[in-house]
Amino acid sequence: MGRYSFNKRLFLPMCAHPKIDPISGELFADQSPPPLLLGEPGQEEEPRFRRSQIRGHPSHPDRGISWIDVPDWTSFHYINAWEEGTDKIVVLSSSITPVEHLFDDIAGLSNRLHEIHLDLRSGWSWKQHVCSAGLDFGQINQKFLRRKNRYVYMCYYGPWPKISGLAKVDLDAPRLPKVVIDGTSDPDLNEPCLVASRRFERGQFCGKPFFVVNGKEEDDGCVLSYIHDEESGVSELLVMDAKSPTLETVASIELPARVPYGFHGIFINADQIANQNHATL
């Protein structure tokens, strides 16, 4: 065991959730420390994690680095980002608020899906809530990384940090008025963006899902996740139809041993396994 250095090419601390451009093969990741660790709870001045900064423009390195403030926003998980025209970037991310209570008041936390719009010409930013449901750990069809995507597969918390269900969000669906979306998450609110939803049985919780492509359309494929039943002790790999409005089960594979709950998941296909580099530490 040891720290993997990607054949001595990685010499900086990096956060989880790197994204690989499916066309160029470039890998993008945050450099540690993450923004939420920059502030000191209880300090007199405004905690630094209240203002996140994003830099661009990845497709035009000749422009240098532009830092754009995004006030009152903390990303918990970046999902995707794409360019619109030559001067605008949209970042898709889930936030967590208030982040300073991440470790001492988890019942009061709220996770929401946002679009962060960055105007590189003016340096302005604005955030747009996508839906009111408490959702996190978004996954998309990986072919759309760095390109505008339509669908996001996300997790319902309950009780935090366990994951009690999954949802499919349509970014192109009509958005509810801001005043509604900004309000308290209401499970009975009929949100057009929630095009599929599945709550697991009492005592069942899953890990972060992963979307596996099987077709040409963006949502042709399956959503995979490990699920554990705390009452029966049974663990399964659940394969769900991504097009089904209830994320219907296509197959379930009972596991010989429990896979612990994990915030994160990935699917590696046979070609990727065959072509991976062998590690030298």
**Nearest CA-CA partner of 227 in 213, 245, 247:** 247
Q: Which is nearer to Fe ion, 34 or 47 (CB)?
A: 34
Q: Which is nearer to Fe ion, 181 or 206 (CB)?
A: 206
Q: How far is the CB of 192 from Fe ion (least distance, A)?
A: 28
Q: How far is the CB of 15 from Fe ion (least distance, A)?
A: 8
Q: Which is nearer to Fe ion, 16 or 251 (CB)?
A: 16
Q: Which stretch binds Fe ion (CB under 5 A): 10-18, 64-72, 138-146, 233-241?
A: 10-18
Q: How far is the CB of 95 from Fe ion (least distance, A)?
A: 13
Long-range contacts of 149-153 (CB under 8 A, 24+ apart): 149/80, 149/82, 149/92, 149/218, 150/218, 150/219, 151/195, 151/218, 151/219, 151/242, 152/79, 152/92, 152/113, 153/209, 153/211, 153/223, 153/242
Q: How far is the CB of 86 from Fe ion (least distance, A)?
A: 32
**Nearest CA-CA partner of 169 in 114, 88, 238:** 114
For residue 233 the two structure tokens come to 């002790």
Q: Which stretch binds Fe ion (CB under 5 A): 5-13, 16-24, 151-159, 207-215?
A: 16-24
Q: Which stretch binds Fe ion (CB under 5 A): 13-21, 27-35, 41-49, 85-93?
A: 13-21
Q: Which is nearer to Fe ion, 16 or 253 (CB)?
A: 16
Chain residues in the site for Fe ion (CB under 5 A)? 16
